[in-house]
Amino acid sequence: MITQTRFLAGALALTAMTTAAPASAEEDFNIWTGQFVVADVTDDIYVRGEAQERFTNDADRLGQLLLRSLVAYRINDDVNVGVGYAYIFTDPIGPAETNEHRFYQEFNIRLIDSGGVTLDSRNRLEQRTFEEGDETGWRFRPFVQLRVPISEDNKFVAYTEPFIGLNETAQNREGLAVWRNFAGISVPLAERIEIVPGYLNQHVFRDGEDRSDHIVNVNLFLAF
């Protein structure tokens, strides 16, 4: 476990430095906002709901709206599993808008919890369907997040998340399709309520020129 967590922590730092877009990549400035709510149903079961608004094309238009839900079961204090559904409306400039219905399963484990430092892993498997097509795209999203105290109230937050397509469809690229890297600061607003502003880089791999999105990302988290 120690070797694995050291590797994951190193990978988290390394990917944040090495996945910057090459000079030839198309670039865009975005602002993304998100609201996340977690509520306990019982000691072992909880639900999560979220909404994300993504302003694209130099942040002058709502390019994507995501609504996602999850029901999860705590196996123990460090491990939980869940299933969920998400609806994603995408309205890009040029290509036609899409309406995606996404079912997913995820496995979450806390790898490190010591002295206020946490390292969390989430593995998510998605089945992506679109109203505009009849294929199902399968995608795997491993996610690792590090949180380190930097003051009495605040923590440095960083994560890395590649998106790996398991098959090829009109809307689902096979292989490495997207890589996100984030760095920010947690700011508590009240008990069990925090806001996390930061910088997110999203690199989109394409057959032609890649795209790199430079994103001001602000998320609000509430737990009950």
Residues of the chain with pLDDT under 70: 1-24
pTM of the model: 0.88
CA nearest neighbour of 142 among 107, 101, 118:
107
Q: What digits encode the pLDDT tens for the residues 51-93? A: 999 999 999 999 999 999 999 999 999 999 999 999 999 998 8
pLDDT at position 14 is 47
Look at residue 23 in the predicted model and tell me its pLDDT.
52
72 vs 157: CA distance, rounded Å: 23
How high is the pLDDT of residue 13? 52
CA-CA distance, 37 to 28, in Å (whole number)? 29
Q: What are 37-48's pLDDT values in tens digits?
A: 999 999 999 999
Contacts from 50-59 at CB under 8 Å and sequence distance 24+? Answer: 54/30, 55/30, 55/31, 56/28, 56/30, 56/92, 56/213, 57/28, 57/93, 58/28, 58/29, 59/29, 59/30, 59/31, 59/216
